[in-house]
Amino acid sequence: MIGLDPLFKRWTVPDRGALFVVSGPSGSGKTTLLREALRVIPGLEFSVSATTRAPRVGEVDGVDYHFVDHDKFRSLLADNALLEHAEVYGNYYGTPRAPVEAALAEGRSIVLDIDVQGAEQVRRSHTEAVSVFILPPSLVTIERRLRGRGLDDDSIVERRVREADEQLAAAGDYDFLVLNDDLDAAHGQLQSILVAELLRRSRRESWIQAARR
Ligand code: 5GP
């Protein structure tokens, strides 16, 4: 079985939600790890980013990303509708502000899958954000994984490996690390971090009150 026991399902929703920021270079396994964590940990929402990148095969508009053109992206920026934004691999990406603010105001938890530039902006605007960096075992592994998934041509893979190195340089700014040298272990690490954060006493005052009844 992957990750945590399903029993966690009954009690991982806190009184107060958390804002999670998860980064990791392409090929770090971040998407796979996050998808599973969102499936098994109840009450965690995924922040759907806006991007000017073209959809990949299988990606669904409004689910994986909001796929927008440059004009639309510029108007989101002009309207201050993005919590953070960055240019990554030649495309623009940004986190719609409203769903994040609404989740936090209503005590729900939300996960942002964003790059290191975006993470830095979120840390500045939301000091309570909890950040997790997914580390690949090595750049060599990243290159192998990117080629293996066969989604990008050679020049893009080479550029992504270079850019992965730049992302890794920012890993020291994160609260938590996950080392993805073994996928099952990495699932457990990421889910443990998220669950531990959701079990902070400050998010669980109601448990103490309930226990003293
Ligand atoms: P991909 O194009 O492979 O889906 O994502 C490329 C990179 O962009 C990933 O590192 C991903 O985390 C990052 N990214 C996705 N959405 C956002 C966003 O809204 N803001 C920022 N800053 N980065 C994002």
pLDDT for 164-174, tens place per residue?
999 999 999 99
Residue located nearest, by CA, to atom 1 of ligand 1: 26
Task: For residues 166-195, give the mean pLDDT.
Answer: 96
Residue 4 domain-assigned (yes or no): no
1 belongs to a structural domain: no
44 in ligand 1 pocket by Cβ < 6 Å? Answer: no
- What integer is the mean pLDDT of 93-104? 96
C-beta of residue 129 within 8 angstroms of C-beta of residue 111: no
**Is 111 a pocket residue for ligand 1 (Cβ < 6 Å)?**
no
Which pTM value belongs to this model? 0.92
- What CA–CA distance (Å, rounded) separates 200 from 98? 26
The residue among 8 and 25 whose pLDDT is bigger is 25
Residue 3 is assigned to a structural domain of this protein: no
What is the domain range of residue 197?
Answer: 16-211
pLDDT of 156 reads 86
pLDDT surpasses 70 at 7: no
Examine residue 7 and state whether it is found in any structural domain, yes or no.
Answer: no
> Could you tell me if residue 197 is inside a domain?
yes
> Where do we find the tokens 């990606």?
59
Residue 9 has pLDDT above 70, yes or no: no
Residue 2 lies in a domain: no
Q: Specify whether the CB–CB gap between 17 and 207 falls below 8 A.
A: no
User: For the chain, what percent of residues have pLDDT higher than 70?
Assistant: 95
Cα 160 to ligand 1 centre (Å): 12
Q: Measured from the CB, is residue 161 less than 6 Å from ligand 1? A: no
Residue 33 lies in a domain: yes
CATH assignment of the domain containing 109: 3.40.50.300
- Cα–Cα distance list, 208 to 67, 174, 189 (Å): 44, 30, 27
pLDDT above 90: residue 26: no
Domain count, the chain: 1
Residue 80 lies in a domain: yes
